[in-house]
Structure 1
Amino acid sequence: MILPLYISRRYLFSKKSTHAINIISGISMVGVAVATMALVVTLSVFNGFHDLVASFFTTFDPQIKVTPVTGKDAPADDPVLTRIKALPQVEVATEVVEDMALAMYEGRQAMVNIMGVEDNFDSLTHIREILVGDGTYELHAADISYGIPGIRLAETLGTGFTYRNPIRIFAPRREGQLSMTDVEDGFVEDELYSPGVLFNVKQAKYDKGHILTNIAFARRLFDRQGMITSLELRLKPGSDFDAVKAEMKNIAGGKYYVRDRYEQQEDTFKIMKIEKLIAYVFLTFILIVACFNIIGSLSMLMIEKKNDVVTLRNLGASDKLITRIFLFEGRLITVIGSVAGIALGLLLCWLQQTYGIVGLGRSSGSFVVDAYPVSVHPDDIIVIFITVIAVGFVSVWYPVRYFAKRLL
C-alpha cells in the first residue's frame, strides 16, 4: 500500500518529459475542484433559503400543533388534549378556532382565514416582533373584538394600518338551510375593529389571507362553542423536543396529529428539498464529466512511464502493484481536487455570508434580503466529499485496468 502511494505521488508532482501531461493533470485537478466547489456553494444557497423561510414561519407557527385526524374540530375539554396540556414540559398552550369567512370593507371584499386565539398567543409565538403600525397588540376590549389582518390583506381591502370603520365578517351558518328568498339569513355577520397594527410574516400564505382575533369571536362566528380546531403548544426551554413530541403522539394515538413547525409547512419544505436534490444530481453529472480529464491524463502518463514499468517488473513488481500505482495517481487527483474544492467553496460561502457579494439583482431592495442567503450544513459537506471520492475512484478504476492490459 505504501510503495504504490509513494510512487504515484512522485509521478503526480514530478516534471514529465511531455509537458502536456502536467497541464492535463492540473486541468483534471482543477475540474474536480470546481465541480466540488459548485456543489458546496449551490447546496449552501439552498440551505440558506430553507433557513430563511423557516425563520419566517417560526414567528407565526407554534412549536407543536395538535389537530384532529377526522373532522375540523374537537371538544376543548377532550381528556386527550387535557393530558397533553398537562405535560410538565409544556410552557404555553393556546386553543385555536380557525375557519374561512368573507371579509368586507367599504365595498371591497376578500375570502379570509379567521384565526381566533387565546390571550396568551403572544407568549406562544413571536407575533409582537412582526407587527407594523402605531397601535398595540390587542385582541379584544370589553365587548369589542379586534382584528389584526395581514399586511397584504390590508392592501386588498384598502384598510391601511388603522381602519376607521369595522371590517364586516360573514360566515355561513352551520345548521339550517339557505333560503333564496332571504340569503342574508343564511350567514352569521359580525364586526372586527382595528387595534392600529397589522402583522407582516413576509409569507403570502399568512399576509394575504389571515385575520388574527380572539377565540370568543371565532367561536361565535363559526358556532363552535366549547370546540377548538387546533391546540398550539410551546415547550419549556431545555426540553427534549423529540422525546416530548413522541410522548404527545403516544397520548394522541390515532385521534390527533402532532406536528412540529416543519411538518406544519410540509408542502413548502418538501418542494425545497426536491429542488436541492435535483441540483445535487445535476452537479454530480458535471462532476462525472470533469473526471474524464483524469482518465486522459492517466492514459498519457501510462504511455510515458513504460520504461519505468519495465524496470519495476525486473525488480519483481507484479502487474497488480503496477496497476495500483496508476489507480493511486487518479485517486490522489480526486482527493486533492475535492479538498481544494471544499475549501474554496467554504471560503466563498463565508465571503457571501459576511459581505453579501452576490446580490439579488436590480430589484434586491424589494426582497427580504439583498443578497443570496447561505448556510453551510456539515452533513452536506460530508455527503459532497463522499460523492466526489466515490465518483473519482469509480471513474478511474475500469479505464486504468483496461489501459494497463493494453499498454503495459
Structure 2
Amino acid sequence: MNVPFLIAQRYFRSKKKRNIISIISNISMIGVAVGTMSLIIVLSVFNGLEDLVRSLYGKSDPDLKIAASKGKSFEVNTFLLERTKAVPGVAIVTEVIEDNALLRYHERQMVVKLKGVSENFYAQSDIDSAIVDGDHRLRRNGQDYALIGAGVQHELSIALENRFSPLQLMYPRNVAGKRTLSINPENAFNQEPILAGGVFYIEQHLDDSYIFVPIEFAQRLLNYGARRTALEVKVGESRPIEEVKAELKQVLGPQFTVLDSDEQHVSLLKAIKVEKMFVFITFAFILLIASLNIFFSLSMLVIDKRKDVAVLMAMGATPNVIRRIFLMEGAIVAQVGAVIGLVLGVSICWLQQQFGLVEMGMATSVVKAYPVKMQLADVLWVGIAIVAITIIVSLRPALNAPQIDLRENL
C-alpha cells in the first residue's frame, strides 16, 4: 500500500481544505492545463509547417541530388551517367543546368533562376500537378516552351504563348572561360527567345524566381556545353533512399555530394527546428511561472496540516514519508492539470486537422488553414517538462514539512 499517495490523494479531494488553499490549487491546475495545451498546439503547428515545406518542395525536388563538391558545375559524360544508373535503386537520372539569367518581357525585366532539365524531368517530378495555367510540357511540336512561376508572370505581366512578344532570356557571354561585359549590349549577352507555355504555383520562393526550360535551350543560352550543375535522381520503391544515397556516395567518390530532400533545404528546415526549440523553451518557462502557484498552495497546505504531520510522525512516519506525501500532492495537482491540458490540446489539434478552424488569412497562401501534425515525441517532451517543473516547485515545501515541533502541534 502506497501510504504517501493515499494521504496526498485524500488531501487533494478534501472538502475541509481551507478555501484559499483550494482556490490556489485550482489556479495551479488551470495554469498547468493552459500551459500544456499551448505547448501541444504550438509544437503541432511547427510540425505541420515542417511537413508543409517538405510537401511543397517535394513537387519540384528530386529524391536525391548529385552536385559537385567544389565549384558550381561538372562535366557529364556517358561513363558518369552509366555509373549512376547502374546503382541498384536508381530509377531515373535527370540532367540539370541551373543558373541566374536576365528575363525581359516588353519593357520590364528581372533576374530569374533558369533551370534547364532533360526530357525525363516530369517522370520524377510532380510539378505538373501544380500547373495553374497553360501546359506543363517544355517541348511541343518541335517548339521550346518555358514553364514560369506565378510570381514571375505577375511581376512581368506575361501572356502565355504570345508569339508576337516571346520572353527574352539573356546571359553574360563567356570569353576564354570568363564572363565579360561589353559597352555594346548586343555583344555583352547571349540572348534567346522562348514562349511561355505554362504557369506553376508551388511556393513563394519558387513562384517568384524560377523558370523551367528544356536543357538544350539552357545549353545554348548559358554556353554550358557538356557541363551540368546537378543530376537529379528518382529512387525506385525497391530500395530505401538512404541505402541508394550511401552507395552513390561510394560509387561517385568525394568530388560529388549526394543530397536527400531534407539536405536540399537544410537551412530552412533547420530554422523551423530551431524556432520550435526556442518556442518550447519559452513556453516551458511560462509553464514554470504558472506552476509557482503549486509552490504557494503546498506551502500553505504544510502550515495547515501541521497537526496531521505531527500525528503521523508520532505514529512512526519518517521524515522521508512526510516529504513524499507533499511531493505526491504537488504531482497530483500538476498531473490533473496536465491531463486536462493534453486532452484539450489534442482535441483542438484534431478539430484543426479535420475542419481547419483557424485560417492562414493570406490570399496568396497555398493552404487555407494552419497545418498541424501531432507527434508522440512532443507529448513525451511536454510530460518530461511538467515532471521536472513539478519537482522544482514542490521540493522546498516538501523538505520543510517534517521540520515541525511535535510538542507544539500534538
**What's the TM-score bracket when you normalise by the shorter of the two chains?**
over 0.9
Pair 297,110 (structure 1): closer, same or farther in 2 beyond 3 Å: same
Q: Any idea what the Cα deviations from partners look like across 1:155-197, whole Å, max 9, x if unmatched?
A: 22221333332211111122247474544223211111233x2
Confirm or deny: 8 A CA contact 1:16 1:22 kept in the other structure: no
Alignment partner of 2:375 out of 350, 374, 377: 377
Answer with 175-184 or 345-354: which moved more. Answer: 175-184
Gaps of 5+ in 2: none
Distance in structure 1 (CA, Å) of the matches to 2:341 and 2:274: 24
Counterpart amino acid of residue 163 in structure 1? N
Deviation at 1:104, TM superposition (A): 1.3
**Match of residue 323 from structure 2:** 323
Shift of the 224–179 alpha-carbon distance from structure 1 to 2, 3 Å rule, reads closer
Count of equivalent residues: 403
Equivalent position amino acid for 2:253 in 1: G
For structure 1, list consecutive stretches of 5 or more residues without a partner in the other structure.
Answer: none
Once the two structures are TM-superposed, the CA of residue 348 in structure 1 deviates from its matched residue by 0.9
**1:224 partner amino acid:** Y
Where does residue 304 of structure 1 map in the other structure? 304
Letter in 2 for 1:186: A
1:102 to 2:106 alignment: no
Q: Which moved more, 1:296-305 or 1:368-377?
A: 368-377
Give identity over the alignment, percent: 36
Q: Are 1:104 and 1:167, in contact at CA under 8 Å, matched by a contact in 2?
A: yes
Look up the SS of the partner of 2:196 in the other structure: coil
d(CA) in 2 for partners of 1:81 and 1:139? 23
Deviation of the 1:94 alpha carbon = 0.4
Distance in 2, Cα, partners of 1:404 & 1:303: 11
Alignment partner of 1:193 out of 172, 192, 195: 195
> Aligned residue for 1:146?
145
Task: Give distance in 2, aligned partners of 1:299 and 1:207.
Answer: 60
Residue identity in the other structure for 2:200:
F
Q: Given residue 396 of structure 1, which amino acid in structure 2 is its aligned partner?
A: S
CA contact (8 A) 1:62 1:124 kept: yes
Please report how far the alpha carbon of residue 87 of structure 1 lies from its aligned counterpart in structure 2 after TM superposition.
1.5
1:125 aligns with 2:112: no
CA distance in 2, matches of 1:225, 1:354: 51
Q: Tell me if the contact between 1:44 and 1:374 (Cα under 8 Å) persists in the aligned partners.
A: yes
Q: Is the 8 A contact 1:80 1:251 kept in 2?
A: no
Q: Which amino acid aligns with 1:294?
A: I
The question of 1:20 aligning with 2:20 is answered yes
Q: Which amino acid aligns with 1:112?
A: V
Shift of 1:403: 4.9
User: Does structure 2 conserve the Cα–Cα contact (< 8 Å) formed by 1:353 and 1:373?
Assistant: yes
Moved more, 327-336 or 161-170: 161-170
Q: Distance in 1 between matches of 2:82 and 2:68?
A: 14
Relative to the length of structure 2, the TM-score reads 0.92
Match of 2:160 in 1: 161
1:217-275 per-position Cα deviation (integer Å, ceiling 9, x unaligned):
11121121222110111111253122222222333432112112221112222222222
8 Å CA contact 1:138, 1:146 repeated in 2: yes
Tell me if the contact between 1:45 and 1:372 (Cα under 8 Å) persists in the aligned partners: yes
- Shift in Å at residue 404 of structure 1? 4.0
| 1:144, distance to aligned residue in structure 2 (A) | 2.9
162-171 vs 287-296, which moves further: 162-171
Letter in 1 for 2:201: N
Which secondary structure state, in structure 2, belongs to the residue aligned with residue 376 of structure 1?
coil
Cα distance change of structure 1 residues 319 and 175 upon mapping to structure 2, 3 Å threshold: same
- Aligned partner of 2:396 in structure 1 is 398
Q: 1:338 to 1:238 in 2, by over 3 A?
A: farther
Are the aligned partners of 1:178 and 1:185 in contact in 2 as well (CA < 8 Å)? no
Is the 8 Å Cα contact of residues 145 and 192 (structure 1) preserved in structure 2? Answer: yes
- Residues 97 and 228 of structure 1 are in contact (CA less than 8 Å); yes or no, is this contact kept in structure 2? yes
Pairwise CA distance, 1:32: 0.9
Residue in 1 that maps onto 2:69: 69
Closer, same or farther: CA 42–179 of 1 in aligned 2, 3 Å = closer
Partner amino acid, structure 1, of 2:145: Y
| Alpha-carbon separation, structure 2, partners of 1:229 and 1:66 | 9
User: The residue matched to 1:271 in structure 2 has which SS?
Assistant: helix
Alignment check: 8 A CA contact 2:181 2:189 kept: no
**2: CA distance, partners of 1:288 / 1:224:** 60
Shift of 1:77: 2.0
The Cα RMSD (Å) is: 2.1
Match of 1:207 in 2: 207
